[in-house]
Chains A and B, each alone.
Chain A
Amino acid sequence: MRKAINLEINGKKQALEIEPNTLLLDLLRMDVGLTGTKEGCGEGVCGSCTVMVGNELVRSCLTLAMQVDGKTVTTIEGLADGATLHPLQRKFLEHGAVQCGFCSPGLIVTAKALLESNSDPSEAEIRDAIRGNFCRCTGYVKIIEAILAAAAELRSAANA
Chain B
Amino acid sequence: MIKLVALVPLFPIIGFLLLGLFGKKWSKSLASIVGSGAIFASFVVAVGIFIELLGADAAHKTATFSLFEWIDAGKFSVAISFLIDPLSSLFILIITGIGFLIHLYSAGYMHDDEGHNKFFSYLNLFIFFMLLLVLGSNYVMMFVGWEGVGLCSYLLIGFWFKNTNYNNAAKKAFVMNRIGDLGFLLGIVLIFITFGSVDYATVFEQATHFTSGETVITTITILLFIGAMGKSAQLPLFTWLPDAMAGPTPVSALIHAATMVTAGIYMIARSNILFTLAPVTLEIVAITGLATALFAATIGLAQNDIKKVLAYSTVSQLGLMFLALGVGAYTSGVFHVMTHAFFKALLFLGAGSVIHAMSGEQDIRFMGGLKKHLPITFLTFLIGTMAIAGVPPFAGFFSKDEILAHVFEHNKIMWLLGILTSMMTAFYMFRLFFLVFSGQFRGTKEQAHHLHESPKSMTIPLIVLAVLSVLGGFLGLPETFHAKHLLEGFLEPVFEASEVRMLPNHLTHLTEWALMGVAVITMIIVVLVARSKYVKNNEVPVPESTTLKPAHKLVYNKYFVDEFYNAIFVKPINWLSQKFHSIFELQFIDGIVNGMGSLVVWTGRNLRYAQTGNVGFYIFAMVLSVVLILLVNYLR
- Tell me if chain B binds chain A: no
Which residues of A are interface residues toward B (Cβ below 8 A)?
Answer: none
Which residues of B are interface residues toward A (Cβ below 8 A)?
Answer: none
